[in-house]
Amino acid sequence: MFRRGGLVLAGVGLMLWLVPAAMAGNLKVDQHISGVEKFDPKAETVRFFEGIDAGQIEVRVTAEGANQCRFRITNTTEQPLNVVMPEAFAVVPVTLADGPDEPIMIEDEEELPPPEGDEPPPPEGDDWPPEDPQKLGIGCPYADGSEIHTFCFVPKRAALLQLRSVCLEHDRPGPSPKHHYEVRPMDQVTNIKGVYEICSMMGRGEIDHQVAQVAAWHLNNQITWRQLWDESQNGPAGFGPRTGMTPRQLFEAIEAVEKAVQQSWGKVTGIRRSPKSVG
């Protein structure tokens, strides 16, 4: 049993009744896309990773701290291209020999402020960390498959996509713009049920970043709720959620994990019951 701000948290699973059954869906999500046009019905439509594999789009990644990534996406073809984004995906660190020569610099682009609570990037001249940083999970709000959220990428023009991220490896160093990343489908990075759904929920603004981070670490790294709570209040910088996680956020994370795992198993059940899987 432990106390925080006069509230006794004894067996957090027994306290879920304090949290409303439905989490707010209108939380502010500071995500942004620019350099694209509206869906073009005359243009070819491809899915994000299919376009990458086919060489139709090129993606470069900059991790702006643990909470946010920027993606520079270029249509390498000679024709307009509609791109359907995934609800969630991952970015993974790559070696310097394989990565871009420098962090992505977007010219003539409005400078966007970092999300509240982000740590500033390390000063120039800092040495690289002794080991690779964490893999990151990304949530995307432009992934419902509708024409309004399927954007057209202009030939030879780079578009900028700014999305929220969560760390997926609890005990590894956090990311910074000095690290080099590449995009991967989520199932190539983790097969833990519910992680994809947690990132999707974050992208849609159903849960805030703090809740998503706690939920992702609990699922993907089997970190207990007690440990995550203690780290949020007392843990060292870079090895726990931002200091000051509230009891409500902890309860929302527990509820989000339950919902995400149910959704993940529901997808598996649906696949198994599909006509193609029968006899």
Residue 154's pLDDT is 96
pLDDT band at residue 122 using 50, 70 and 90 as cut-offs: very low
Residue 225's pLDDT is 94
* DSSP per position, the chain: -EEETTEEESSGGGGGGGS-SS--S------EEES-B---TTSEEEEHHHHHHTTSEEEEEEE-SSSEEEEEEEE-SSS-EEEEPPSEEEEEE--TTTS-SS----TT-PPPPPPTTPPPPPPTTPPPPSS----EEEE-SS-S--GGG-EEEPBT-EEEEEEEEEES-TTSPPP-TTS-EEEE-GGGT---TTHHHHHHHHHHTSS-HHHHHHHHHHHHH---HHHHHHHHHHPPTTSSSPS---HHHHHHHHHHHHHHHHHHHHHHHHHHTSGGG--
Residue 129's pLDDT is 47
Mean pLDDT for the stretch of residues 51-76: 94
Mean pLDDT for the stretch of residues 200-214: 94
Q: Does pLDDT of 4 surpass 50?
A: no
pLDDT band at residue 243 using 50, 70 and 90 as cut-offs: low
Q: What is the pTM of this model?
A: 0.74
Q: Does pLDDT of 116 surpass 90?
A: no
pLDDT band at residue 82 using 50, 70 and 90 as cut-offs: very high
pLDDT band at residue 72 using 50, 70 and 90 as cut-offs: very high
Residues 188/86, Cβ–Cβ less than 8 Å = no
Of 133 and 45, more confident? 45
Lowest-pLDDT choice from 54-58, 146-150, 213-217, 238-242: 238-242
Residue 78's pLDDT is 96
pLDDT band at residue 174 using 50, 70 and 90 as cut-offs: confident
Residue 270's pLDDT is 59
Report the mean per-residue pLDDT for the chain: 77
Q: Does pLDDT of 94 surpass 60?
A: yes
Residue 55's pLDDT is 96
Residue 269's pLDDT is 64
Mean pLDDT for the stretch of residues 103-113: 43
Lowest-pLDDT choice from 5-19, 91-105, 200-214, 256-270: 5-19
Residue 173's pLDDT is 82
